[in-house]
Amino acid sequence: MSGLVKRLSNLGKPKKEQQTPATSTCSTSAAAPAATPAGISTTTIALAPAPAPAAQSEPTTAAVTLPAAPTTTMSATKIAVVYHSLWGHISTLAEEVAAGLRDSGVQVEIFTFAETLSDEALGKMYANKALGEKYPHITPEKLAEFDGFLFGFGTRYGRAPAQVSAFFDRTGGLWAKGTLVGKFGGIFTSTSSQHGGQEVTALTTISYFAHHGITFVPIGYQFPELTNLTEVLGGSPWGAATISGGDGSRKVSEIELKVARGQGNYFGKTVSTFVKGKSA
């Protein structure tokens, strides 16, 4: 009875909506955005995609250009061989002296002193005039082009002959300008006898060197042949030499040629050492 009454009392009341629990459904779609509270506006900001990282290139080494090392131009040493020969003895020595100079690595030019004697005088001396025409005649101006000189001539009373002295007397212009100061000189000679004045001829020629400021280069006794006592020989510490005999019949010996070549080689090395040091 009571149950019937209860049901009758509920007939006029509205029915409550039945709450159905929400169920979540798994899907691949993105979740819905959360609700925005009332009164707050929203702005959608589009973010730019992050830039892709720059491609890494291999490290490169910049080419470095180094300054060129300073260069020094080494001037070649130049030596003049100047001779006067009547019978060929000095001419033979001159060729050997020049060969020794070339052995030392220097540049060599050969000249002769111009003849001053007449053909008549040369004929009486049985001189071979062609010897003086074998190479160009030296001029005072030409001397300025060389670092050193080796002069060869026969002796006349312990000094240079007239042909050589005449040339020396023409070098006054060079002396006035000091053109030959600092250059080098050497001497080789010939006499008709063993004691005909080889050393004093060199000594008297040094006066010419001194006035021009030319440094004299003797050979000393560096060649053992100079102390050879087994035969008559020319040559001394002053320079190479030969003995011709009174009529020119004696020829230059092998020992004398060896000393002459040695003088050229020694002179060339001495002068080139100075020239290289001066150019450094």
pLDDT in tens, 217-264: 999 999 999 999 999 999 999 999 999 998 999 999 999 999 999 999
Confidence tier at 163 by pLDDT (50, 70, 90): very high
Domains and CATH numbers, the chain: 78-279 (3.40.50.360)
- State if pTM tops 0.85: no
What gap in Å lies between CA 107 and CA 34, rounded to an integer?
A: 105
Q: What is the average pLDDT value for the chain, to the nearest integer?
A: 84
205: how many CB neighbours lie within 10 A of its CB?
A: 25
Confidence tier at 70 by pLDDT (50, 70, 90): low
Half-sphere exposure of 66 (CA within 13 A, CB side): 3
Q: Are 144 and 180 in contact (CB under 8 A)?
A: yes
As beta bridge partners, residue 108 has 79
Name residues whose C-beta falls within 8 Å of residue 14's C-beta, 6 or more positions apart in sequence.
none
As beta bridge partners, residue 109 has 80
What gap in Å lies between CA 169 and CA 215, rounded to an integer?
A: 19
| Res 90: pLDDT | 98
Confidence tier at 278 by pLDDT (50, 70, 90): confident
Q: Check whether 130 has a pLDDT greater than 70.
A: yes
Name residues whose C-beta falls within 8 Å of residue 121's C-beta, 6 or more positions apart in sequence.
none
What gap in Å lies between CA 40 and CA 34, rounded to an integer?
A: 13
